[in-house]
Structure 1
């Protein structure tokens, strides 16, 4: 049994879905769990649906129609007859979404978010399962919410591993092909849909691999494997043939976008290899993450995170920033769901770079001002270089406004105001 995961870029249109069939055919794997994300930018489109739903000025009908038309066009490109059951399934799922929006009474944005954006994966997996059948690939469609059980921490749910192990063991066959959704789970008490965080489909693949003792996981991407830098921002990138679990976890922690930060821990615990391969060239070896050499080839790794916030604090009475002060800061960072990317402190100051992904900056700053003098910079960029050399750091910082620099033996980080 192997696990394949296909992201939104690999299923963004009809031709891409056809290519997924080609990948399955070329790899000739017979026993698979195939985890799929929402198609293309569907999650973003469903976030627009949410924005319109909660806004008095929003055009909910228009944003819903956009999502429907996008998937309907993909169906037109895959199936010759509009009478194919896939069209009826799309209508059925879309009616469920509309029914939820009409009847929902909750004002909890995170709860509503998970109920709405989950329809992206439900639609994509249904379309792909139907197209597989159309092309002679027998498969079983599985609602992942019956398998991955979580707490009620909506938008970033924590997996209940004991219950998840039991449900996956009960519901997933080790033979044949199963098509299911990434990113989703359901909370234990009321079975409401939860999500595992953005890009959580990689994590879903790892959960299935761990619970099924899979032979391997392959993540199919639009890149040849794991590169030492994002080619959108850096030139002359290098492909890694192999990365150790430890190094991959470090890269994920610092924000490397190819592998989800949560994905690697369950893989490492059972020493299941993770492959990152190109869906455009499925026979190429790609990158293997597993036991063995740290990096092959050994070279510097460049990681870039945009749209970060640098917050600088000092005590109001110029007293030392001691453990009790810093403890309060981290308590509030946790309360307002700020992901900490970097910290630096001195006797009377404390700086922290955070990812404001839940848009809670204003209430956090208000709370911090009660106890500290607060300065902040929004829209800063955090650069991280693993296994750096001084010339690379100098070149990166040249002619840039460096707000903060932090260096250790293996890693240097720069916060730059572009």
Structure 2
């Protein structure tokens, strides 16, 4: 018989939400305030992953390594020093820190993606020990659970793919029964392959892993606690008049995440969408301010919901006279790109040219690059023009291709901007265009003022 437990709510806390003792105490308050919260997924303490990545890249200078290790010690023991019974977890933390030191020394000789995953996972392994002890000291039954026994993945270190069937089976066997009697604290971002080697889902993968876990345990809800009170009509740092959104559909939120809204990882919503699990996004610093519910069905379906900005875009324009009224040209282009594992984001075509942007979901900073060999093969087929220093502005909404006057309202607002590429009509939920990065924020401000501040 399959193990089940009623009303499991999964709460996920990001790095800033577990940055110090005060922040972790606020997390404990949130967990206590919802008796259904039986499963808690957390990130490493703020700043820790960056230190671990630096060590993983290989610090040859021993003094430099020791300085970074001391930063890790200071950060974690500043929190541990506030505990009532710190000795309960100090041996565990010291054991993990010793592993960090050992792996950092190995990385100084020769770094690898496999070693990097072992190192960066240590941040989550330490933070879960600390938060578990904080909640335990409040009188609750707590189990700290190593998610690597459930989060089974491929061996693509640094960007592993989850194995959904294995995760579901392991969760039913190992995780769900623990939620009957305990609050379970576990790690985001990390997993393991069939050889029990540590893997990671990539930077930003903590939200994704929380959603995968919520799906695996048939959760009734998923809470994503971060440092902002929900999803806004745009980034308030760009447009101060941005408004909070009380509820938003999965389709709209997925578009927002994909097109630059940093509040959610682009992949986060997929598991929740598959099982129609409502997702709440709120601020662990100010939980009383409420937040945003992401649901399958929402009461309000406005024409315009939000405007997003995504920087570091790479635009590739391919031109060839042989494309004119010819068969197979695009097939050859995409065959080359597929062979070199180049993922395409947006695309527009004309009679003799095609323009496309490169997907940067898995790019670690900066604009994505076209592999040299792919560029060489494309240049044998056609002329290739590469442009960077571009940003993507996306307007998110509903039935945008059907509403009369939409294009005039939008493009009239942007008549002073040079729009390098426009994608409109392929989706009823978005309208996207590229502008030079120097004018991107101004374009967002103008659109927001026209469409959301009237």
Equivalence map 1:3-152=2 (5 Å)? 3-25=10-32, 27-29=33-35, 31-53=37-59, 59-76=64-81, 78-79=82-83, 84-103=87-106, 109-152=112-155
Q: 1:36 to 1:147 in 2, by over 3 A?
A: same
Work out the CA distance in 2 between the residues paired with 1:107 and 1:402.
45
Q: Which stretches in structure 2 are left out of the alignment for 5+ residues?
A: 1-7, 401-405, 439-454
Shift of 1:125: 1.1
Work out the CA distance in 2 between the residues paired with 1:304 and 1:148.
32
Contact 2:421 2:433 in 1 (8 A): yes
Work out the CA distance in 2 between the residues paired with 1:328 and 1:125.
45
Partner residue, 2:355: 351
Cα deviation, 1:39-76, whole Å, max 9, x if unaligned, reads 113222222222344x7899333333333322233333
Shift of 1:151: 0.8
2:376 to 344, 347, 369: 369
Q: Alignment partner of 1:371: what SS?
A: helix
Task: Give the count of matched residue pairs.
Answer: 409
Partner residue, 2:442: none
Residue 205 in 1 paired to residue 205 in 2?
no
Contact 2:57 2:116 in 1 (8 A): no
- Indicate the larger mover: 376-385 or 286-295: 286-295
Partner residue, 2:287: 282
Cα deviation, 1:359-383, whole Å, max 9, x if unaligned, reads 7956614531343233223332111
Shift of 1:98: 1.8
Partner residue, 1:249: 254
2:266 to 261, 283, 286: 261
Work out the CA distance in 1 between the residues paired with 2:200 and 2:94.
23
Q: 1:398 to 1:192 in 2, by over 3 A?
A: farther
Q: 1:106 to 1:52 in 2, by over 3 A?
A: closer
RMSD: 3.0
Q: TM-score, normalised by structure 1?
A: 0.87
Q: 1:292 to 1:30 in 2, by over 3 A?
A: closer
Residue 380 in 1 paired to residue 390 in 2?
yes
Q: Which stretches in structure 1 are left out of the alignment for 5+ residues?
A: none
Shift of 1:179: 0.2
Work out the CA distance in 2 between the residues paired with 1:341 and 1:59.
40
Contact 1:241 1:297 in 2 (8 A): no
Work out the CA distance in 2 between the residues paired with 1:118 and 1:313.
41
Partner residue, 1:414: 433
Equivalence map 1:225-240=2 (5 Å)? 225-240=230-245
Shift of 1:128: 1.0
Contact 1:97 1:116 in 2 (8 A): yes
Residue 403 in 1 paired to residue 430 in 2?
no
Work out the CA distance in 2 between the residues paired with 1:327 and 1:253.
22
Partner residue, 1:313: 318
Q: 1:42 to 1:404 in 2, by over 3 A?
A: same
Shift of 1:237: 1.3
